[in-house]
Amino acid sequence: MSGKYSRREILGHAARGTVLLGLGGTAAVLATKAHKTYAWVIDAEKCVNSKLGVLGVDVCELCASECVITMSAVRAVNEFSQCGRCYICPAYYKITSAVGPDGLPSEKVCPTDAIQRKAIGWIDPDDPANNFYDYTIDERLCNGCGRCVMECKEPAGLSSIRLEVRHNVCLDCNRCSIAQVCPEEAYDRREPVTT
Amino acid sequence: MRVLADSRVPLCAGRWRLGFLVFLFLVFCVAPQVVAQQIDYSRQAEVAPDEETIGEGYVTPEVQHPRSRSARRQLFDVALLALALALAAWLALKKRSRVGLVWLTVGCLAYFGFFREGCICPIGSIQNVTLALFDQAYAVPYFVIAIFILPLIAALFWGRVFCSGVCALGAIQELFCLKPLRVPPRIDRALGWLKWIYLAVAIYYAVLPAVDRDFVICRYDPFVGLFRFTGQAWLLILGAAFLVAGVFIGRPYCRWLCPYGALLSVCSRYAWRSFSITPDRELDCGLCADACPYGAIEERRAVRTSCFACGRCYRSCPVHRVEDSGGAAPNPNAGLPSVDRVAR
């Protein structure tokens, strides 16, 4: 063949170009929606630990035990605007435990001591029970066991605590090991609410 | 009789005393629990107090939400993948160094396999990419697109350098391929169809509606359990079985089951510059064909679509052995026209 390229080289270039075009086209189609984040999300209304009316059920700790990450990607989160900020929080204190010398229950619910209790403002020393307390969950300690979620449920609490998947920690496995064993099928893969 | 009654009395009294002591002991143990009171709990608020009720300038704190995903780590992984692919291409095609490729294999196995625990891998990304193409409601992030595309583009230019040592699953099998036997070519070709079937099955299950959807590549990945040191027992045993079999039959998963390998074989077929055995730089003696564990050398030339660029052929080449030990081998093929690609 005359000319700079042999027929074989031209065919080779053509084939390469076609495949590259195909790959590029695929990448372009995918890139149009690649800004969205998809992650595993727990539907708090389905989660057995927060479902109203499901009393007498043992706390479900699968979110803590099943995650492939050592420290589960699930955390408990307190929705402050719905929190009662009570003196004796049933999710902080184990209300069935014996009363300590200060009149408060002696045992706590959280196994990793992740809930922090802080008084809001000035405490009247004669009437501490009529004060408000903020309950914050330390993310570095919380392992997503769900006990506080269960205790905060109606009628003991106001159901302000829920379990949430930390999608910056979550590996977004195609087969989420928690999603497969969740008894209420509360896991779904969709855009997480970040606000 | 009376004597007996008399003699029975002390025994009875002893038994009663013992029983009373036991009772006291039990009461002593149980009493604290029973006597210690629980609080008389009743919910303090029926409704969450608002900021005015709390007063003192209180502002409801922000609910803790997760930070967004670390783009830096994803970028780092993609950059590392690109670097590893480029390095594999250079080591295989330019430097022709088996030692370098082995070290690259070990490094990639350590990072992508054991440290990143094998996820996200380009093999599994096929399912996500397919789903994102078919399902409006699903999208993959940029770095997954990159992880899917980069090895394919590398294959278009340099052949299957991804398989060479960058793929963690391939890397672990590569290190176990110690006493390879030759598989008859017809069986090799027949088994090679399995990966296309697996690809079709994986795509089919990935695009089913959410309730039926199953990511089968992830579910039946025999090696990810070994990277994570945990998993279903049967799958771990299967992974170990693959490795043991791999000692004698080189890289069975890569050659016959890997769905991504099917895509790579298409791309590497049109590779611009791929792994080659040439009469100029080598000897055309055919010793390499025996050294190749994967049956990728035919008629003394590398078969692009199945060559994993492992470099064993170079190690067995007399020319390279002389070169590596510092000498220069005379080339009997100098001056003859060279054909460096099998016509397929």
Q: Are residues A20 and A43 in the same domain?
A: no
Residue B330 has pLDDT above 90, yes or no: no
Contact B145, A30 (CB under 8 A): yes
Interchain contact B248–A (C-beta under 8 A)? no
- A43 inside domain: yes
Which chain A residues have a beta carbon less than 8 Å from that of B268?
none
Residue B135 has pLDDT above 60, yes or no: yes
Count structural domains, chain A: 2
**Alpha-helical regions (H) of B159-223:** 161, 168-176, 185-206, 216-219
Contact B247, B178 (CB under 8 A): yes
pLDDT at B196: 96
Task: For residue B176, give Cα distances in angstroms to A54, A170, B84, B100, B238.
Answer: 53, 32, 21, 17, 15
Q: Two tokens at A65?
A: 């035990």
- Which DSSP string do the residues of B222-291 spell out, in sequence order? TTHHHHHT-S-HHHHHHHHHHHHHHHHSS-HHHHHT-HHHHHHHHHHHT-SS-----TTTS---SHHHHH
Interchain contact A19–B (C-beta under 8 A)? yes
Residue among A67, A85, A55, A79 at smallest CA distance from A144: A67
- B35 inside domain: no
pLDDT at B1: 47
**Mutation target vs B (from A94, A174, A187; most B CBs, 10 A cutoff):** A174
Residue among B197, B204, B206, B216 at smallest CA distance from B131: B206
Across the interface, whether the CB atoms of A168 and B36 are under 8 A apart is answered no
DSSP class of residue A183 equals T
d(CA B268, CA B305): 6
Helices H / strands E in chain A, number of each: 4, 6
Which of A111-120, A121-130, B105-114, B119-128 shows the lowest mean pLDDT across its residues? Answer: A121-130
State the CB neighbour count (10 A cutoff) for residue A179: 18
- B197 inside domain: yes
Distance from CA of B305 to the nearest CA of A (A): 14
Across the interface, whether the CB atoms of A26 and B36 are under 8 A apart is answered no
Residue B157 has pLDDT above 90, yes or no: yes
Q: pLDDT of B55-80, one tens digit each?
A: 778 888 888 888 777 788 889 999 99
Residue B83, domain extent: 72-269
Which chain A residues have a beta carbon less than 8 Å from that of B38?
95-99, 105
- B27 inside domain: no
Q: Are residues A62 and A109 in the same domain?
A: yes
pLDDT at B344: 42
- A195 inside domain: no
Which chain B residues have a beta carbon less than 8 Å from that of A176?
none
Q: Are residues A28 and A60 in the same domain?
A: no
What is the rounded average pLDDT of the residues B246-274? 93
Residue A2 has pLDDT above 80, yes or no: no
Across the interface, whether the CB atoms of A34 and B149 are under 8 A apart is answered no
pLDDT at B113: 93
Task: Pick the residue from chain A with its C-alpha nearest to B149.
Answer: A23
d(CA B228, CA B168): 13
Model's pTM, two decimal places?
0.80
> For residues B171-193, b (16+ Cβ closer than 10 Å) or e, as one string?
bbbbebbeebeebeeeebeeebe
pLDDT at B258: 95
Across the interface, whether the CB atoms of A121 and B132 are under 8 A apart is answered no
- B258 inside domain: yes
Q: Two tokens at B78?
A: 């993609």
Q: Are residues A97 and A184 in the same domain?
A: yes
Q: Two tokens at B344?
A: 């397929």
Adjacent-strand bridge partners of B327: none
| SS3 state of residue A39 | strand
Contact B49, A158 (CB under 8 A): no
- A148 inside domain: yes
pLDDT at B200: 96
Residue B118 has pLDDT above 70, yes or no: yes
Distance from CA of A80 to the nearest CA of B (A): 6
A20, A33, A174 member nearest B139 (Cβ): A33
d(CA B120, CA B151): 14
Q: Are residues A94 and A7 in the same domain?
A: no
Cβ-Cβ contacts under 8 Å for B123 (sequence gap 6 or more): B167, B169, B217, B221, B258, B259, B260
End-to-end CA distance of chain A: 66
A42: preceding bond cis by omega (within 30 degrees):
no
Interchain contact B35–A (C-beta under 8 A)? no
Residue A122 has pLDDT above 90, yes or no: no
Q: Which residue has the tokens 């005379």?
A: B330
Distance from CA of B264 to the nearest CA of A (A): 11
pLDDT band at B13 (very low <50, low <70, confident <90, very high): low
pLDDT at B187: 93
d(CA A28, CA B129): 12
pLDDT at B149: 96
Distance from CA of B235 to the nearest CA of A (A): 15
Distance from CA of A157 to the nearest CA of B (A): 7
pLDDT at A138: 92
Distance from CA of B74 to the nearest CA of A (A): 11
Q: pLDDT of A136-155, one tens digit each?
A: 999 899 999 999 999 888 77
Across the interface, whether the CB atoms of A95 and B267 are under 8 A apart is answered no
Residue B343 has pLDDT above 50, yes or no: no
Q: Two tokens at B303?
A: 């078969």
Cα B163 from chain centroid (whole Å)? 13
d(CA A72, CA A68): 7
The radius of gyration of chain B's CA atoms, rounded to the nearest angstrom, is 34
Across the interface, whether the CB atoms of B270 and A121 are under 8 A apart is answered no
Task: For residue A163, give Cα distances in angstroms to A58, A166, B33.
Answer: 16, 10, 33
Task: Pick the residue from chain B with its C-alpha nearest to A165.
Answer: B66
pLDDT at B124: 93
Higher per-residue pLDDT: A192 or B271: B271
Task: For residue B5, give Cα distances in angstroms to A44, B17, B20, B339.
Answer: 75, 18, 22, 121
Q: Are residues A106 and A152 in the same domain?
A: yes
Q: pLDDT of A87-117, one tens digit each?
A: 889 999 988 888 888 888 889 999 999 999 9
Q: Are residues A78 and A149 in the same domain?
A: yes
Across the interface, whether the CB atoms of B38 and A120 are under 8 A apart is answered no
Higher per-residue pLDDT: A102 or B144: B144
Distance from CA of A75 to the nearest CA of B (A): 9
Residue A147 φ/ψ, nearest 5 degrees: -65, -40
Q: Are residues A146 and A166 in the same domain?
A: yes
Q: Are residues A13 and A72 in the same domain?
A: no
- A46 inside domain: yes
What is the rounded average pLDDT of the residues B270-299? 84
Percent of chain B with pLDDT over 90: 46
- B156 inside domain: yes
Residue B6 has pLDDT above 70, yes or no: no
Q: pLDDT of A17-53, one tens digit each?
A: 999 999 999 999 999 988 888 889 999 888 888 887 6
Q: Are residues A27 and A116 in the same domain?
A: no
Which of A47-56, A84-93, B92-101 shows the lowest mean pLDDT across its residues? Answer: A47-56
pLDDT at A54: 62
pLDDT at B341: 47
Adjacent-strand bridge partners of A133: A119
pLDDT at A169: 86
What is the rounded average pLDDT of the residues A110-125? 88
- B186 inside domain: yes
Across the interface, whether the CB atoms of B133 and A37 are under 8 A apart is answered no
Residue B3 has pLDDT above 80, yes or no: no
Residue B168 has pLDDT above 90, yes or no: yes
Count structural domains, chain B: 1
Q: Are residues A57 and A44 in the same domain?
A: yes
d(CA B225, CA A122): 55
pLDDT at B260: 96
Contact B162, B148 (CB under 8 A): no
Residue A158 has pLDDT above 80, yes or no: yes
d(CA B159, CA B88): 10
Q: Are residues A109 and A157 in the same domain?
A: yes
Q: Which residue has the tokens 């599994």?
A: B124
Which chain B residues have a beta carbon less than 8 Å from that of A132?
49, 54, 58
Q: pLDDT of B17-62, one tens digit each?
A: 888 888 888 777 766 555 567 777 787 778 888 888 777 788 888 8
- B128 inside domain: yes
Q: Which amino acid is at B6?
A: D
Residue A7, domain extent: 1-35
A82, A99, A174 member nearest B39 (Cβ): A99
| SS3 state of residue A182 | coil
- B91 inside domain: yes
